[in-house]
Amino acid sequence: METNTEARKIILSGIQPSGKLTLGSYLGAIKNWAELASDYDCYFMMADMHAITVRQDPATLRATVLEQIAQYIACGLDPDSCALFIQSQVPAHAELAWVLSCYTMFGELSRMTQFKDKSAKNEENINAGLFTYPALMAADILLYQADLVPVGDDQKQHVEICRDIAQRFNGVYGDTFKIPAPFIPKVGARIMSLQDPTAKMSKSDTAAGGCIYLLDKADDILRAFKRAVTDSYTAVRYAPAVKPGVSNLMQIYSSVTGKTFTEIEDEFESKGYGDFKLAVGEAVIETLRPIREKTEELLNNKDYLAEIYRAGAQKAGYAANKTLRKVYKRVGFVQ
Ligand code: ATP
Ligand code: LTN
């Protein structure tokens, strides 16, 4: 049966291939993309142009991009219905980013939390790209006239500045861009490090055991959960301010099993942290096992992956160029 794609709402999201994907990227982002995908027209990208705001080894970057495409598919994104593409293969992203950077204020960029965090961590390389990154991210989103941008909590500020830029541009030139809304999941929007539950689980985290990667083996996952930092109380209760470690584990458990916090509290009413950590570890292992196996299988078929990202770039390029042409006309570039 033909579906009327014209009327469908649009989703765009992306992840920087700056390292191996984590349980945080999965629960905060990709899992929700897969759940929303059947109701939207979807564009999911490997944000390699964003990744080079921090120095990357070229061979590693190339391998990480391929691994990321395989993981997107393994996590349930259907390449036949979603455009899975590599950002640098759709030149409209760089082109619109330049235009939008002329409608983005120095002051608003200076307030971005990610810029402050990353420049504190990379004092020797506080480059202009790191600073103007939100204009590129706004281009990513606005090129597709996206309605919804599913991301983890840390990216909310970037979606908000994207809305401000779009409104500013529309205010000057008339309706050009759709104003997108962030989609932040109720549970799993901010998974914390297992070793430091006050810090976000992040793929560039170097502390051993803090981060679970999507391709980690069962034994390593179980060990990391057994060693997860909790507190000196005993009850499994959701209370992020006083029990950040346990609450983080509850978020993870809830997100992978679908159980509510009350159901989890009841399940572990008369049990200790040891049993709870084991249950969380096992639930995560079962969630990640098929993803790891499918990713390994896909990585053995590089030709298939190339077909997917080529077709993805073609579909994305078509939609993106439509918006870019409109923008160029509006700002007064000769056609
Ligand atoms: P980096 O360390 O390179 O900055 P990262 O691990 O913070 O990377 P991103 O690539 O920035 O992850 O994020 C990919 C997507 O996953 C974004 O939508 C982000 O909000 C989400 N995400 C990342 N980490 C987490 C987390 N710990 N909890 C929930 N969502 C997350
Ligand atoms: N900035 C995001 C990655 C990203 C993105 C996007 C997310 C780049 N472009 C467009 C949503 C929409 C990050 O660092 N995780």
Rounded Cα distance, 152 and 42, in Å:
17
187 Cα to the center of ligand 1, angstroms: 15
Query: What value does the mean pLDDT of the chain take?
Result: 95
Mean pLDDT across 181-206? 93
Residue 118 shares a structural domain with residue 228: no
| Number of domains present in the structure of the chain | 2
Rounded Cα distance, 56 and 42, in Å:
28
- The answer to whether residue 71 is domain-embedded is yes
- The answer to whether residue 195 is domain-embedded is no
Exactly one of 31, 200, 243, 277 is catalytic; which is it?
200
Looking at residue 206, its pLDDT comes to 73
pLDDT classification of 6: cutoffs 50, 70, 90: low
236 Cα to the center of ligand 1, angstroms: 26
Tell me, yes or no, if 118 is annotated catalytic.
yes
Residue 275 shares a structural domain with residue 318: no
Selected residue with higher pLDDT from 205 and 156? 156
Residue 145 shares a structural domain with residue 254: no
- The answer to whether residue 206 is domain-embedded is no
Residue 315 shares a structural domain with residue 273: no
Torsion sign over Cα 34, 35, 36, 38: positive
Residue 288 shares a structural domain with residue 308: no
Q: Which residues line ligand 2 (CB under 6 A)?
A: 12-16, 47, 50, 137, 140-141, 149, 151, 155, 158
Pocket residue to mutate for ligand 2, from 54, 137, 160, most atoms within 8 A of Cβ: 137
Rounded Cα distance, 282 and 268, in Å:
15
- The answer to whether residue 49 is domain-embedded is yes
Tell me, yes or no, if 203 is annotated catalytic.
yes
- The answer to whether residue 124 is domain-embedded is yes
Residue 125 shares a structural domain with residue 274: no
Residue 265 shares a structural domain with residue 318: no
Looking at residue 2, its pLDDT comes to 45
Which residue in 189, 186, 256, 178 sits closest to 11, CA to CA? 178
Tell me, yes or no, if 277 is annotated catalytic.
no
- The answer to whether residue 5 is domain-embedded is no
Pocket residue to mutate for ligand 1, from 202, 212, 214, most atoms within 8 A of Cβ: 202
Q: Which domain holds residue 281?
A: 218-296
Residue 175 shares a structural domain with residue 62: yes
Residue 243 shares a structural domain with residue 157: no
Mean pLDDT across 46-63? 97
Mean pLDDT across 287-303? 98
Residue 257 sits in a domain of what CATH number? Answer: 1.10.240.10
Residue 205, pLDDT above cutoff 90 = no
Residue 5, pLDDT above cutoff 80 = no
- The answer to whether residue 262 is domain-embedded is yes
For the stretch 229-251, pLDDT in tens is: 999 999 999 999 999 999 999 99
Residue 170 shares a structural domain with residue 274: no
- The answer to whether residue 194 is domain-embedded is no
Residue 123 shares a structural domain with residue 228: no
Residue 168 shares a structural domain with residue 32: yes
Residue 143 sits in a domain of what CATH number? Answer: 3.40.50.620
Looking at residue 7, its pLDDT comes to 72
